[in-house]
A and B are shown apart, each in its own frame.
Chain A
């Protein structure tokens, strides 16, 4: 069930991000009342639609998770009333139908309504459809808070998705992506995640055809999560091979995608690929304190994959304040693998079985058995020049000497140790003196350099420049030139005998 807790924290990260941004922008410390915030958000969305600048919509969506905890039906109704002041609007009727009937309105509410009416008459045009969908999104999220409305939230989400499909507006894509997420959550809370699959698949196809990257990224992640939830790794793998994940997807989506890929690859024994993906997921994931759930889930898997690759994870990972407690079980496993004692390993496994099963890493860890044996043999081969098979058998707690011989033979063939077995005497002779400076060193070096360069290039690409910022400089330069020209004219008019295109011309050129 490791994916389930991943989502709420993964979401939390976006909201925290936005809150840090808010503080950066020096907005007042206590957040504005939800109704005001919704109004401001709708304004931003409208601006985004009119200016074709999706950045504003993204900003609104970043505050979604923080906002959704503070809203209730009354706030929503109030906001709807403000936005659609008249009674004629069909959209308004449609929205209000999803809200439960109003509880007796208090005096305070009436006041707000009045002022809202006054403001409402200012905006003449009908609000953009994006605003309606945004309201619906908030409503779906609010319905998730109580089990009684799960069913209703599924209906609303389906209805909303249909509306989006019909409207087919590119400016709606970022919001649509969030609606899909809400839809998945609705189905999950309703306990019928599998039923949502055909819906996602159809929508994924449409999104791909419309080049709707935001929705596409969100939907691919929805599908992968859906498959992994039911352990359908085959299907998930096929989905990955048949789709291309949009490169422009947000970091949050990319982190999830890499995590899913990491899981798939780990199950398929492709540990190197799994490790790369998990590293990416860790890098893309928000700071540990912000989204602890996701951070822990990725690290758990990453530790297991590292062990399966034959590496020992760094000690500092287990001392991280966010990871220390949840990764306790994994730390014990690492210790057992490091010591190379099968008995230790089995005991630790039995002790933490429940935790590991809950994390869905149990079967992966079962595969570590052979790594434990290999580590044990490697340790022995390093410390002994010659050792009897019977002693190996006893030290590693193997079942019989015969087994030990086969196992050592396999270890030699797999290149774990460099040794020979002398069958007649029943011992293993180790050959040492390995040349440590072979071509593999260059390979490892090359890989690391490649990683650093890639990181540098990615960061350069990720830099954003404010739009039209260069205009300001241009006008400044223009002004300066103007001043120079005036100066030159003054000098000329003042009967200044000298070079015709005096200093003014030169300085002007300098610009």
Chain B
């Protein structure tokens, strides 16, 4: 590997490890390093390159993934993750395990969760190189898995309480955007499940601390607020009589007639 690449890599490590890490400097270093990696043929490695070089390349990309989260740039994280995929699957047997692998994978899982891509979430989860019982013992993976389970069940308060249990700082960024999703989910449940709800309880259910926040939220969703009684009432969708789907029935019957004709 070129010596220039090595010095840049050292610089990146220093910039990334310093507290607080210098995001801007990391960004410029990363783009320089990526060009370097492409020139060395390591960004998307093919064939059998030197394992040490590969490990360095993987490290750079992992730092890049973390940096993207810290810089709140999710599409960039997505790109870094796709690039890392080759290192995590195809070169798994060649490379020494990376201590950042599972945090990165966990972050990816949470990202899928916040984007509500549940099917992708499960596909990714199934393809983890972990035996099924280790999913529950690996803190980086357990966290998103638990979140998904609670979300699906509807145990929203558990999700809310899990905010503080994030295994690394980067998870918190996603948790915040997850909260927005949850609030909308809860609101939709409330619309279906309640006729009226006292303002105070609505605030607790939706995890609002002040009433003004709740009022703003209620306005967005178009809820009727009765300030004097201190309640919210939800417009119930009346079950109107559903019309008979004539067209559909006709089409189906014609189809049966035609098929019967063929048989007889």
Contact = CB atoms under 8 A, between A and B. Distances in A.
Contact of A413 (B131, B132, B188, B249): B188
B132 A231 contact: no
B127 A403 contact: no
A410 interface: yes
B186 A409 contact: yes
B126 A446 contact: no
B190 A409 contact: yes
B49 interface: no
B240 interface: no
Interface class of chain B by DSSP: helix
Given A357-B133, A409-B186, A420-B194, A442 B252 contact: yes
Contact of A421 (B125, B154, B157, B193): B193
Interface string A211-249: 000000000000000000011111001000000000000
Interface string A400-417: 101101111111110000
Given A267-B122, A402-B157, A406-B157, A442 B133 contact: no
B151 to A, nearest CB: 9
Interface in A313-363: 353, 357, 362-363
Nearest to B185: A410
A363 B201 contact: no
Contact of A269 (B119, B131, B186, B242): B119
A477 B191 CA distance: 79
A409 B188 CA distance: 9
Contacts of A353: 133
Interface string A79-99: 000000000000000000000
Interface in B184-228: 185-186, 188-195, 197-198, 201, 205
A421 B157 CA distance: 17
B126 A231 contact: yes
Given A369-B153, A409-B192, A439 B244 contact: yes
B201 A423 contact: yes
B155 interface: yes
A399 interface: yes
A355 to B, nearest CB: 12
A268 interface: yes
A4 interface: no
A366 B236 CA distance: 35
A267 B125 CA distance: 9
B186 A406 contact: yes
B156 A406 contact: yes
A406 B242 CA distance: 30
Contacts of A370: 149, 152-153
Nearest to B202: A423
Contacts of B248: 439, 442
A402 B161 CA distance: 12
- Chain B interface bracket (under 10, 10 to 19, 20 to 34, 35 or more): 35 or more
Interface in A412-455: 412-413, 419-424, 438-439, 442, 446, 449, 453
Interface residues of A, number: 46
Interface string B240-256: 00101100110010001
A151 to B, nearest CB: 19
A424 B194 CA distance: 11
B263 interface: yes
Contacts of A439: 242, 244-245, 248
A399 B150 CA distance: 12
Contacts of B188: 413
B259 A412 contact: no
Contacts of B122: 267-269, 363, 367
A267 B123 contact: yes
Contacts of A362: 132
A270 B119 contact: yes
A234 B155 contact: no
A456 B264 CA distance: 12
A373 B189 CA distance: 16
B189 A409 contact: yes
B252 A446 contact: yes
Contact of B154 (A363, A407, A449): A407
A498 to B, nearest CB: 44
Contacts of A407: 153-155
Given A232-B127, A423-B198, A439-B245, A413 B118 contact: no
Contacts of B131: 357
B52 interface: no
Interface of A: 230-234, 237, 267-270, 353, 357, 362-363, 366-367, 369-370, 373, 399-400, 402-403, 405-413, 419-424, 438-439, 442, 446, 449, 453, 456-457
Closest 10 pairs between A and B when the two form their complex, measured CB to CB: A410-B154, A409-B189, A413-B192, A409-B193, A407-B154, A412-B193, A231-B127, A362-B132, A268-B119, A413-B189
Interface of B: 89, 118-119, 122-128, 131-133, 135, 149, 152-158, 185-186, 188-195, 197-198, 201, 205, 242, 244-245, 248-249, 252, 256, 259, 262-263
Given A268-B119, A363-B122, A369-B153, 6 more contacts: A366-B132, A367-B122, A420-B194, A422-B194, A422-B195, A442-B249
20 contacts: A233-B126, A237-B123, A267-B122, A267-B123, A363-B135, A367-B122, A367-B152, A370-B153, A399-B158, A405-B205, A407-B153, A410-B154, A410-B185, A411-B154, A413-B189, A420-B194, A420-B195, A439-B242, A442-B248, A456-B259
